[in-house]
Structure 1
Amino acid sequence: MIFDGYKICVLSGFAGFTKMSGEIISKNISKNGGTIIPLPQARNQTSNLTLIIVPEQSDEKMILKVMNLTSLPSCPLVSPNWAINSTNSKTLHDPNDYQIKKTELPIKRQSPQTYQSPPQSPFEAYKTLPLVPLSNSPEMNRTQTNPILNQNNTRLHDDLLQNKDKYMFTKEQPNLNEHITSVLEILMENYFLLRDRGRGFAYRSAIIVLKSHPEKIICGDQVGNLQKVGKKIKKKIQEILETGTLKRVKAMDEQSRLKAIKEFSKIWGVGSATADKLFTLGYRTLDDLRKNIPQFLNDNQRICLELFDEIKERIPREEVKEISDQVVEYAKLLLPNKDIEANTCGSYRRGKETCGDIDILLTFDDVLENKLFLRELVDYLIEKKVVTHVLILSENCKKHESFTFEGIAKKPDGLHRRLDIKIYPRKYYAWALMHFTGSANFNRSIRLFAKNKGLKLTDEGLFPAIRSHGETICGGNLVECYTEEDIFRLFDMPYKPPEQRDL
């Protein structure tokens, strides 16, 4: 058993390490031969403990307060990553590699400004930095070898890169099976709208495999051995090859329930469950809704229903740029002493001629010390008549260190347009930039690859992860990346420009 002979106390419920996370890690340790010593008992038996698992972001004062002690125990204090990585690899990792140095508690996390950059551009230095694994990062407050990187700390370990080429995000070629996947995607979307998630995910998995397939499929025999493509889906593929469509899709298109759910789900803030409820109450069209708006629709849903015909229109690329430029200009006026880096993401960054909305990503030094900036920016955009409606404005970053505005903008002579503004600290910006650039299929594919390797890829980094009973418990960020090029290098891939990420 992995943890045979280990007596461990798990401190959770503070410093970003939730009680649920602690409970799942404790169960995994017990299942694998370890002994969990409850906190009340551990307080009086610190000399008998093998080690204590503590949150990565904790400090000496926090630990002493939780344990009700006057001095730190003599046993090692280690990161939750030790238990997570040992469980995932089914091999006991050396706790010393995950030990949090007591002599460095507490320690102030340094800003990426530690890397000196040339005067003309404070971010230019980040663009030439090699990957910085956490074990060498100035932000580290512990010593740890990085088990996911190769010896040179330049990319993922060879073991983790195995079978990478089977995933869609690595492909250079276009989708050779668009004639099949385009029809199956309609079926998949219908099932998700009807909240039949099982079939929806089954079709999504099959579509990913078909898009990655290196040959154009022209007969049913070619899909005989493809993984994730079950018997029923194979029959659907054969029907598509013979007729160009599916009877099931045509039949579903005639269903009044699905028609209504599709229509109502296009309203911002209305999900499939709310859309289904509207259908059950007798609503069939948007006009029905406008004539008699139900009380359970909130203010934001009512606003987006009122402006639906304008918001649904695609936005010309020139207009996206014009509004984005205004937002960035006003941001720089409000923070004249900050070097703000900005990108307009989504389909705009992928080079499309029209966009569904305007998605702007910002970063600058000391984001968390300017928590009111987004509120001030939105107020200024309202004053300048750029923003007409505020739908969401998050100023609370207890869980995530980013800030989000979702609303509606309008040119003086234009239509109402959906506008999102997101602000991330510099250390997360490259991850967020890749995430919000998309495409959705590119993101799903690279996240699936990470998931299958025991990791979790998000808009804030790459984390070791344990998944149990629908709950995902993540360890600390494993790698610091300051450019998208660094992230692609991490996955041992040549950089793929945004316009090549439409899959």
Structure 2
Amino acid sequence: MAIFKGRSFILFPNNEVSSINIFENLIKNNGGKIIEYEHDITNASPDINYGYSHIIGLVNDSYLTLNNNKYEIYENNLLLNEMDLNKRKLWEFVKKNNITLVNISSVSFWLKVKKILINQDNIITITKDPGLHLEEISTSDSCNQSTSECETDIGDIINELVKCNSGSSKNLNSNLNNADNVGEVSSSGTLHGLKNEVIPQYNNEIEEDNKSISASSLARNTNGNELLIKTLDKLSKIHTIRGDEFRSRGYKLAKISVSKYPHKIKSAKEAQEKIPHIGASIAKKIETLLKTGKLPGLEIASKLESRKEYFSSCYGIGPVTAENWDSLQINSLNEALKRFPKIFQHDWSILFGWKYYEDWNKKIPRSECVKHMQIIKEELKLLDDSIECEIQGSFRRNRALCGDIDILFYKKECDDISDLYVVLEMLAIKLYKKKYIKCFLQLSKNINLVFDNEIQTTLQKAGISNNEFRSISLTNRPKLFLGAKLSTTIPEFDTSLYTINPEIDVKLHSEDKYMSSSVQANSVSHALEEYPCRRIDFFICKWSEIGASKLHYTGSGEFNREVRKIAISKGMKLTQHGLYQNDILLESFNEKRIFDLLDIPFIEPPDRQELKF
């Protein structure tokens, strides 16, 4: 059956979540094509008589609402925030060429009736122009030699949030009326024409760097700049929660720069002239902080964002879903489950994010990372002793604490990803049967066979029925996302690394704890007695691409972004697969030679926080 043969589909807002992967696979398995990039459009020429009628836009049902029996997009800005640049350009293409938009769940109906049926009832109406301007997007993350600012206002943030927080406006004081601007990206030292590139693998990595810098900087001598670092961190987090990565990144860079500055900052002028990533707007905030010790409205804005932060701290819940639930004044995961059971039914991995919510929000000491690696290496050796693996990410950068554990697998002289994946899958299944791996967050056919019962049990515990579709990844996908736990108790000499701090540790609300298997939720002492479950990601790379892969997976995210900008400035392109010029591979095997070709000195992994070239 190939009912989608000759048809092309664009998935909005993206195809990153498991529920969308389901439909993506169904479309491909039934003869359809998925359009993911702008250049795919150039190959999809319009029919002389029917134009682009062979292309259908599919929108995630989570972003839709029924109004007078007509589907409408719930909130255009929520949809747009979840799109990467390619999807935004495709959205413009859809509007320009009047491409038919329908809800993505129509796919399952079409498969049941064995033909595509589109009527006026399931066509989506765009009631309001999303206000997307590609000119702004293409330049918003680019710059020239002068300082470029992107500003918003704390008062505006609060006013927007108050609409979704009944009664909060009564608590706002007159300071908010005079709140000053809070958001800026200084473009000093960056390059013109860079597209807003989204690197999902590093979202957690960047956040881990933020927390690590904040904690480590404040633990050591910060030369009297603690208040500035804390404030910049709060501003960054507010914009991250709101899904505004552009402004958030500006504050992250400013915070990193301030934390590295060897002197106490005495004036805004000093900060702007001597510290990278400090432009006029951030300098103004520094001036306010130095004079008054606070930024008007910031604490209130932080509190009003706390509900979104609670949701977005759960694996599988992005900023758009968190924003949606917050706007509906949903206060807990349990309440969201009752309101939107299908989201948890289709995106079943969210339930495991809930189950290990507190564990996965705790930092991992390096010593524990080493213990995880020992278990994995010992089991891998029994399967194939020619395959090697190394921890990447913040561990390779010699950070004291890691957010998760990224492990890169490779085999000398082997470029067959499928061959490596077979062993990787066997390794994961064996470790699951030995109760080291506690959960899988994506499935292959073989993993589904051993893990399906656990999914069913978790669904039943949540009080929802079995999901109709299960997202099965292609067997050659070079990654696995897991949760794993050391079975031994924490040695007494290590207990200081696992103390429970109520002021810092992320905790589930009381009404959500019934789903929890986190060790913190079940601990009755001030320190954990057993190891928490940890997030572990397995990645595979070709032997010929080992250098580019290590550069990519080592990070930090901000470091990678800056190196890619340098590549672009030289007419090159850098990815985890290699360094290219005019689509010709220049280097992928030797990490140091990639630096040489970019004409920058090799930077050792521990120094890849500095952003100095």
For the aligned pair, the TM-score class normalised by the smaller chain equals 0.5 to 0.7
Greater mean deviation of Cα atoms: 313-322 or 400-409: 400-409
Residue type at the aligned position of 1:220 = A
Residue type at the aligned position of 1:236 = K
8 Å contact from structure 2 (residues 229, 259) kept in 1: yes
Cα distance in 1 between the residues matched to 2:402 and 2:257: 27
Q: Does 1:491 align with 2:598?
A: yes
- SS of 2:536's partner is strand
Per-residue CA deviation, residues 112-159 of structure 1 (Å, 9 max, x unaligned), is xxxxxxxxxxxxxxxxxxxxxxxxxxxxxxxxxxxxxxxxxxxxxxxx
Cα distance in 2 between the residues matched to 1:312 and 1:22: 39
Aligned to 2:434: 384
Q: Does 1:478 align with 2:582?
A: no
Q: Does 1:420 align with 2:537?
A: yes
8 Å contact from structure 1 (residues 394, 403) kept in 2: no
Identity of aligned residues (%): 28
Residue type at the aligned position of 1:308 = Y
Aligned to 1:187: 235
From 372, 377, 395, the counterpart of 2:422:
372
Residue type at the aligned position of 1:390 = F
Post-superposition offset of 1:193 = 1.7
Per-residue CA deviation, residues 290-331 of structure 1 (Å, 9 max, x unaligned), is 888743122100111022122222223222111112222322
Q: Does 1:441 align with 2:558?
A: yes
- Matched ranges for 1:166-245 at <5 A: 166=189, 180=228, 182-196=230-244, 199-200=247-248, 203=251, 217-222=265-270, 231-245=280-294
- SS of 1:296's partner is helix
Distance change (3 Å), C-alpha of 1:393 and 1:325: farther
Distance change (3 Å), C-alpha of 1:224 and 1:344: closer
Cα distance in 1 between the residues matched to 2:223 and 2:549: 30
Distance change (3 Å), C-alpha of 1:22 and 1:416: closer
Cα distance in 2 between the residues matched to 1:177 and 1:167: 28
Cα distance in 2 between the residues matched to 1:308 and 1:454: 43
Post-superposition offset of 1:477 = 4.8
- Matched ranges for 1:249-264 at <5 A: 249-255=298-304, 258-264=305-311
Cα distance in 2 between the residues matched to 1:295 and 1:323: 35
- Matched ranges for 1:108-123 at <5 A: none
8 Å contact from structure 2 (residues 239, 248) kept in 1: yes
Aligned to 1:411: 486
From 562, 574, 578, the counterpart of 1:461:
578
Cα distance in 1 between the residues matched to 2:251 and 2:483: 34
Aligned to 1:101: none
Which structure's CA Rg is the greater one?
A: 1
Aligned to 1:115: none
- SS of 1:418's partner is strand
Cα distance in 2 between the residues matched to 1:24 and 1:243: 56
Post-superposition offset of 1:227 = 8.8
TM score, norm. by length of structure 1: 0.56
- SS of 1:359's partner is strand
Cα distance in 1 between the residues matched to 2:36 and 2:299: 48
Residue type at the aligned position of 2:330 = Y
Greater mean deviation of Cα atoms: 271-280 or 187-196: 187-196
Distance change (3 Å), C-alpha of 1:209 and 1:347: closer
Per-residue CA deviation, residues 449-470 of structure 1 (Å, 9 max, x unaligned), is 3334443322222234xxxxxx
Cα RMSD of the aligned pairs, angstroms, is 4.2
Per-residue CA deviation, residues 411-467 of structure 1 (Å, 9 max, x unaligned), is 224321111110110122211212222222322222233334443322222234xxx
Post-superposition offset of 1:397 = 10
Per-residue CA deviation, residues 343-402 of structure 1 (Å, 9 max, x unaligned), is 11122222233322111101111433504232222212212222121102579999x986
Q: Which runs of 5+ in 1 are unaligned?
A: 1-16, 27-37, 39-164, 169-173, 465-474
Cα distance in 2 between the residues matched to 1:385 and 1:463: 43
Aligned to 2:608: 501
8 Å contact from structure 1 (residues 219, 241) kept in 2: yes
Residue type at the aligned position of 1:498 = P
- SS of 1:239's partner is helix
Distance change (3 Å), C-alpha of 1:176 and 1:436: farther
Per-residue CA deviation, residues 260-281 of structure 1 (Å, 9 max, x unaligned), is 1111111111111111222233
Aligned to 1:322: 371
Post-superposition offset of 1:208 = 7.5
Aligned to 1:341: 388
Aligned to 1:311: 360
- SS of 2:483's partner is strand
Residue type at the aligned position of 1:345 = Q
- SS of 1:302's partner is helix
8 Å contact from structure 1 (residues 324, 358) kept in 2: no
Cα distance in 1 between the residues matched to 2:365 and 2:259: 29
Post-superposition offset of 1:212 = 8.9
Cα distance in 2 between the residues matched to 1:477 and 1:243: 56
TM score, norm. by length of structure 2: 0.47
Residue type at the aligned position of 1:415 = P
Residue type at the aligned position of 2:597 = L
From 308, 312, 319, the counterpart of 1:272:
319
Distance change (3 Å), C-alpha of 1:237 and 1:305: same
Cα distance in 2 between the residues matched to 1:321 and 1:487: 29
Aligned to 1:146: none
- SS of 1:352's partner is coil
Distance change (3 Å), C-alpha of 1:293 and 1:357: farther
8 Å contact from structure 2 (residues 409, 538) kept in 1: yes
Post-superposition offset of 1:239 = 1.7
Aligned length in residues = 333
Residue type at the aligned position of 1:279 = D
Q: Which runs of 5+ in 2 are unaligned?
A: 1-34, 46-187, 192-216, 446-471, 489-530
Post-superposition offset of 1:242 = 2.8
- SS of 1:295's partner is helix
8 Å contact from structure 2 (residues 359, 533) kept in 1: yes
- SS of 2:441's partner is strand
Distance change (3 Å), C-alpha of 1:477 and 1:422: farther
